[in-house]
């Protein structure tokens, strides 16, 4: 048992599990210090979209780092942020047919912080209007990050039990599982009608950390309508689903909806540097606007809109514009469908499912004790086979960078088939 200086996230150091040392990466491949070639089948925790070390993004980072590395963003501004803000608003308009629906961009550093910002915007919206609305409605099995506010609006479990006393209360509606969609919608309608909520916060189409749970665009569309009818702000957390994962650049576009507040992070820089944005409607911005300093939006962090991260995001947008990203996503989705058909037919597999580039399946077991130890055992098997996969409980999923080769992807599917058999 080593007590090394580095304390890794979501890692029980007392188990002494190996922690591979990675020296460099290209595309979907990680190279270890001892010469192994690892296939990154989860995009380094859902962030790497095109592939590791995309030359265009790497070059943009290098150039910006030598020009302007950091700037206070309260009362000062710089070109990469100005350009990125304008491009993001135009992009979201085009993707969602939003026609100016989300004209304001607030920068932060991570998925958790852009969710915190969204919650504070929603609460500020009502507070500045003098309305006593502070309850947040969320969906069962949701995940929105690991800060205290983001944990409060996420599912409760072993991972936040120690902090439960500090988490604020929310109203929770059931997940719209197949056949139970109406119960979910009814619960949302009921919560909106009786609890006077400030906002409904939801992951569109796929609940990621909750187990890659998927629901249809029509349900998302109905949820948006219910919120609109009751004047409840609709916050879409596209931190994971954004940037092509569900087959379209934004999951919301598959339901034809425009949220009041939109959270984007992970793939915003192509997965190269930490950066996040919260986009807001004119009404949300206007509630904070005026000559009264007490109404301004009180949120900042040291690295808000860091110029180097903004330059990386601009390069990512250029990759989306100028490279055949949509074609790569379509090809990946088709190859994933083939792999899922093969895996779904194996004994001991339940609920094979796909949304765009993401496939997931549940490994069944009648022995709950075994089940609890399943994820780490599978993970170790995958690691020994030089594939980076990280099951969520008994759910195995594949979410690779779009540039993964068909051969490497087939290898990932094969390794899963071997491990579960």
Residues of this chain that interact with ligand PLP (CB under 6 A) are 110-112, 115, 143-145, 203, 208-209, 237, 239-240, 265
Residue 311 C-alpha from the chain's centroid: 21
Identify which of residues 255 and 420 has a Cβ nearer to ligand PLP in the complex.
Answer: 255
Q: What's the closest the beta carbon of residue 269 comes to ligand PLP, in angstroms?
A: 11
Q: Which ranges of 245-385 does DSSP label H, i.e. alpha helix?
A: 252-255, 282-286, 307-322, 325-344, 368-384
DSSP single-letter state for residue 27? B
Identify which of residues 79 and 146 has a Cβ nearer to ligand PLP in the complex.
Answer: 146
Identify which of residues 124 and 208 has a Cβ nearer to ligand PLP in the complex.
Answer: 208
Q: What's the closest the beta carbon of residue 391 comes to ligand PLP, in angstroms?
A: 16
Using DSSP's 3-state secondary structure scheme, residue 11 falls into coil
Q: What's the closest the beta carbon of residue 44 comes to ligand PLP, in angstroms?
A: 12
- The two beta strands, 136-139 and 104-108, are unpaired
- The two beta strands, 261-264 and 233-237, are parallel
Identify which of residues 115 and 349 has a Cβ nearer to ligand PLP in the complex.
Answer: 115
**Token pair of 390, please?**
């990280």
Q: What's the closest the beta carbon of residue 96 comes to ligand PLP, in angstroms?
A: 18
Q: What's the closest the beta carbon of residue 63 comes to ligand PLP, in angstroms?
A: 25
Residue 81 C-alpha from the chain's centroid: 22
**Token pair of 421, please?**
């058999």
Integer Cα distance of 134 and 127 in angstroms: 8
Integer Cα distance of 56 and 403 in angstroms: 14
Identify which of residues 239 and 280 has a Cβ nearer to ligand PLP in the complex.
Answer: 239
Phi, psi of 404 (to 5 degrees): -60, 140
Q: What's the closest the beta carbon of residue 236 comes to ligand PLP, in angstroms?
A: 10
Q: 3-state DSSP helix/strand/coil percent for the chain, to nearest 5?
A: 40, 15, 40
Q: What's the closest the beta carbon of residue 146 comes to ligand PLP, in angstroms?
A: 6
Identify which of residues 181 and 237 has a Cβ nearer to ligand PLP in the complex.
Answer: 237
Identify which of residues 143 and 320 has a Cβ nearer to ligand PLP in the complex.
Answer: 143
Q: What's the closest the beta carbon of residue 203 comes to ligand PLP, in angstroms?
A: 5
Listed residue (207, 205, 190, 191) closest to 140, CA to CA? 207
Integer Cα distance of 140 and 146 in angstroms: 16
Identify which of residues 197 and 208 has a Cβ nearer to ligand PLP in the complex.
Answer: 208
**Token pair of 146, please?**
């690991």
């Amino acid at each position: 048992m080593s007590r090394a200086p580095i304390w890794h996230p979501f890692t029980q150091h007392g188990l002494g599990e190996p922690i591979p040392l990675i020296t460099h990466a290209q595309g979907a491949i990680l190279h270890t210090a001892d010469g192994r070639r690892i296939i990154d089948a989860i995009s380094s925790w859902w962030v790497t979209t095109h592939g590791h070390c995309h030359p265009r993004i790497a070059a943009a980072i290098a150039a910006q780092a030598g020009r302007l590395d950091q700037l206070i963003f309260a009362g000062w501004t710089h070109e990469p942020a100005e350009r990125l803000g304008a491009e993001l608003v135009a992009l979201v308009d085009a993707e969602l047919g939003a026609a100016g629906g989300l004209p304001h961009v607030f920068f932060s550093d991570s998925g958790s912080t852009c969710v915190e910002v969204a919650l504070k915007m929603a609460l500020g919206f009502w507070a500045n209007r003098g309305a006593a609305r502070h309850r947040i409605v969320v969906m069962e099995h949701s995940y929105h990050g690991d800060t205290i506010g983001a944990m409060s609006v996420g599912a409760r479990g072993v991972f936040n039990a120690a902090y439960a006393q500090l988490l604020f209360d929310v109203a929770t509606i059931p997940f719209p599982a197949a056949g139970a969609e109406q119960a979910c919608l009814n619960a949302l309608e009921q919560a909106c009608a009786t609890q006077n909520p400030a906002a409904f916060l939801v992951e569109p189409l796929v609940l990621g950390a909750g187990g890659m749970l998927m629901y249809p665009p029509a349900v998302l569309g109905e949820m948006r309508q219910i919120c609109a009818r009751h004047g409840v702000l609709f916050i879409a957390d596209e931190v994971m689903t954004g940037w092509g994962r569900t087959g379209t650049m934004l999951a919301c576009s598959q339901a034809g909806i425009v949220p009041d507040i939109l959270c984007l992070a992970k793939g915003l820089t192509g997965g190269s540097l930490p950066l996040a944005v919260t986009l807001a409607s004119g009404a949300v911005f206007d509630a904070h606007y005026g000559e009264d300093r007490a109404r301004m939006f009180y949120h900042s962090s040291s690295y808000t809109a860091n110029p180097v991260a903004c330059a990386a995001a601009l390069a990512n947008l250029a990759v989306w514009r100028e490279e055949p990203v949509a074609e790569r996503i379509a090809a990946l989705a088709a190859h994933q469908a083939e792999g899922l058909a093969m895996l779904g037919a194996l004994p001991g597999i339940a609920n094979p499912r796909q949304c765009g580039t993401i496939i997931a399946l549940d490994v069944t077991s009648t022995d709950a004790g075994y089940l609890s130890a399943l994820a780490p055992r599978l993970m170790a098997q995958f690691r020994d086979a030089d594939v980076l996969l990280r099951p969520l409980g008994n759910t195995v999923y594949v979410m690779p960078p779009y540039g993964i080769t068909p051969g490497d992807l087939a290898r990932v599917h094969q390794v899963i088939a071997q491990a579960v058999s």
